[in-house]
């Protein structure tokens, strides 16, 4: 049990830093896209700085955190008796499905990161702001699953995630209107 608690602690630390990196990298994507629309020489100065910031965040914090969070999770699940018990629980299967979505989200962020490092702007700032909420939805789903475990009512859980997503979309639209009003 002591090993499990150490693994769990390390897993949680790296999950937190992984999410911090995912949240901030998309914010940097927004800044990089905005910088691409600036006139020269401001564009080149900002792009250079944002590329450095994104590179350091991505390869020094986000990728290592994601890998270490996964290593400690797999060790916890496959290398301890309690982990073996959790693997038989339905809530863990749902959680692992959300973790799989998180891996896909991370890989898509990596693709966007590479594009922006090569000065390829394929998305709008509005798309990036909305994209940033994907990690938030996954985070909420995973935390509630882990805390509530089998006590969660799946119907309420699904309805809750849908309502939460709708609230995020409404908040995004509200914030977009405020931004547009302030730019006028």
- The per-residue pLDDT for range 94-142, each reduced to its tens digit, is 899 999 999 999 999 999 999 999 999 999 998 998 899 899 889 988 8
**107/101 Cα distance (integer angstroms):** 10
Distances (CA, A) of 68 to 33, 40, 58, 106: 30, 41, 14, 14
pLDDT at position 150: 62
**147/131 Cα distance (integer angstroms):** 26
Torsions phi, psi for 145 (to 5 deg): -60, -45
Q: For residue 57, give the DSSP letter.
A: I
Binding-site residues sit at: 11, 95
Query: Which tokens belong to 170?
Result: 């409404």
pLDDT at position 14: 98
C-alpha R_g of the chain: 19
pLDDT at position 67: 98
Q: How far apart are the first and last CA of the chain?
A: 60
All residue ranges of the chain with pLDDT < 70 are 150-155
Helices 2-36 and 125-148: crossing angle in degrees, nearest 10, is 170
pLDDT at position 102: 97
Inter-residue contact 126 to 65 (CB < 8 Å): no
Distances (CA, A) of 142 to 18, 124, 172, 183: 14, 28, 22, 37
pLDDT at position 116: 98
Binding-site residues for heme sit at: 11, 95
């Amino acid at each position: 049990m002591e090993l499990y608690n150490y693994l769990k602690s390390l897993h949680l630390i790296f999950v937190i830093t992984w999410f911090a990196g995912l949240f901030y990298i998309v914010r940097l994507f927004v800044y990089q896209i905005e910088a691409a629309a600036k006139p020269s020489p401001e564009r080149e100065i900002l792009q250079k700085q944002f590329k450095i910031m994104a590179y350091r965040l991505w390869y020094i914090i986000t990728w290592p955190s994601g890998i270490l969070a996964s290593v400690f999770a797999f060790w916890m699940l496959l290398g301890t008796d309690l982990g073996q018990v959790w693997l038989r629980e339905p809530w863990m299967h749902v959680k692992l499905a959300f973790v799989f979505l998180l891996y896909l989200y991370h890989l898509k962020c990596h693709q966007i990161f590479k594009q922006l490092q090569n000065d390829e702007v394929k998305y709008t700032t509005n798309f990036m702001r909305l994209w940033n909420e994907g990690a938030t939805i996954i985070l909420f789903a995973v935390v509630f699953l882990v805390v509530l475990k089998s006590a969660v009512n799946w119907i309420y859980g699904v309805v809750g995630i849908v309502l939460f997503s709708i609230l995020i979309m409404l908040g995004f639209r509200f914030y977009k209107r405020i931004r547009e009003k302030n730019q006028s």
